[in-house]
Amino acid sequence: MLAIASTDDGKKWNDQAQKELTDALNLKPNIKIAKNVILFLGDGMGVSTVSAARLYKAQKDNIAEGMSTLAFEHFPHVALSKTYNLDAQTPDSAGTGTAFLCGVKANAGTLGVNGNVQRKNCSLQKGNEVMSILHWSKAEGKSVGVVTTSRITHATPAAAYAHSAERDWENDANLNDVEGNCTDIAKQLIMDNPDIEVILGGGRRNFFTIPVGQRNDSLNLTQIWETDKSTKGKGSYVTTKSQLDAIDVKNTDYLLGLFAESHMEYDLDRELDNNSLDQPSLPEMTKTAIDILKKNDKGFFLLVEGARIDHGHHASKARKALHDTIAFDDAINIAMKELGTEETLLVVTADHSHVFSMAGYPETGNDILGLVHPTPDDEPKDNLPYTSLIYGNGPGGALVNGSDGHPGRQNLTGVDTTDPEYVFQAAVHMSSETHSAEDVGIFAIGPMAHLFHGVHDQNYIAHVMAYASCVGANKKHCDRPKDDPIGSGVSHTLAHSLILVCILNHINKYL
């Protein structure tokens, strides 16, 4: 028996499209100088993850499917980023981090260095370092911070402050067999970047020179940090959510939070176990960081990474990846609520995508994590049930024998694919699912957000953020002559842009 579709004469869609069209015609670029810049980096958050997370949140919150449920989907300026590394079609997070934070493409596995440095070659590192927007912002007197759910010495956060020919040189123990005079990433963070106001994430183990259980306080980098901050201002080192909640942000100038020995918990696990490990969520860390950084009248730069989206995909545990995407979006909502977008540029993007897709032809209302109910013409050739979420490769690849004795898919009949630990199926069996090479989205709102407008190389992101906030090399537009005829404090170039927009809007009235 055929299902009877609900009445839909198309009026809803026409009205919705006309409203969007009117909004687009009335959209004017914000050409102010950005006092603050926040880069929200969803690690591994490709377009397929955004689409799946939108549906996951809609079903989780009982919202009509198809609605744009994610905050950054409402940003007016959207572009695409080409993510390749110099030596790799499919990138890693170190080379990509160097691109969107330092403004240059780099080789896979390298951090804060240019393309002259090959991975693991310590001897090439000196003289080929590149600075990031964190350093450029600091040079202009702004406050800076890094927030992540990974180890704070992991690839993306490390690209903001470190220079390393190998992303895995996180701790001095990782350099035991390395020739040359290279410094580990944890030591670079504490010793070479003492003026970073906010550092929040995991990776506590990398700040000690000896293992857990044998630690001597005289040998840990956190104590060096605390000693340094005692001479500069009011600093606090915390290791739990309870301690973070107790921080008086008005009287805190520096904050170091290391909430796990390695990566922090998946957000879903943190919820399901009632936060037994006493770790803060990404939104909570983001709010604390903003509250401290916004005290600087010159503004700030903040990197916020939703790192465990990537880890969930590598493990092919799609529910965890999608749940962390929602937590990441909640952090964006916090920033918009705390700061608005009039003088704060918010940029949301990913370093790379994953071989993750929504497949089959599931009907509206089909559980995004569940099995597809195929139509008679679209049944799998092996007649086994399948999920709409699937990976191109990964630990869920087929290892069981099919009816012909060759590897075949697992029969999912009776399997709870909504279980947080369920490993989704893949075409090729690998110990860890891989990144993918396709472009990723850039979503932006606030001052100069309109400069994201097409398909860009990933390193362009750093240049736009720097231009918008008047840091780095290109600051000619930042001059503000007292006799500016526009009287708005903007440069003549920006004023001309505003005039052009006004003319075009005037013309539109007569079209």
483 is in an annotated binding site: no
Who's near 41: CB < 8 A, 6+ residues apart? 100, 156, 303, 304, 305, 306, 349, 350, 351
Question: The tokens of 11 are what?
Answer: 């009026």
Two tokens, residue 108: 């896979």
Active site residue 93: yes
Alpha-carbon distances of 126 from 15, 121, 163, 183, 297, rounded to whole Å? 60, 10, 9, 11, 35
Find the angle CA(95)-CA(465)-CA(163) to the nearest 5 degrees.
35
Instruction: Give the active site residue among 6, 48, 51, 93.
Output: 93
Sheet with strand 143-151: strands edge to edge = 235-238, 254-258, 198-202, 143-151, 300-306, 36-42, 344-349, 440-445, 77-82, 455-457
Which of 339, 335, 311, 334 minimizes the C-alpha distance to 324? 311
> Is position 156 annotated in a ligand binding site?
yes
Q: Helix or strand or coil: residue 449?
A: helix
Joined tokens for residue 334: 């916090």
Q: Is 61 helix (H, G, I), strand (E, B) or coil?
A: coil
- 8 marked ligand binding residue: no
The conformation of residue 408, written as its DSSP 8-state character, comes to E
Cα atoms in the Cβ-side hemisphere of radius 13 Å centred on 106: 35
Q: How far apart are CA 394 and CA 422, in angstroms?
A: 13
Region of residue 220 (left: phi > 0; alpha: psi -120 to 50; beta: else): beta
Tokens 């939070």 locate to 257
- Outline where 30-132 has alpha helix (H): 47-60, 93-102
Is 314 among the annotated ligand-binding positions? yes
Cα separation values, 484 from 34, 210, 462, 493, Å: 19, 60, 29, 12
305 is in an annotated binding site: yes
Exposed/middle/buried for residue 69 (C-beta within 10 Å: 0-12, 13-18, 19+): buried
Say whether 352 counts as a known binding-site residue. Answer: yes
Instruction: Determine whether the annotation assigns residue 154 to a binding site.
Output: yes
Place of tokens 């290791």: 239
- 385, 411 Cβ separation under 8 angstroms: yes
Q: Where are the beta strands (DSSP E) in 203-308?
A: 235-238, 254-258, 300-306
The β-bridge partners of 401 are 407
Which residues form the catalytic set?
A: 93
Which residues does the annotation place in the binding site for Zn(2+)? 43, 310, 314, 351-352, 435
Which residues does the annotation place in the binding site for Mg(2+)? 43, 154, 156, 305
Which residues does the annotation place in the binding site? 43, 154, 156, 305, 310, 314, 351-352, 435
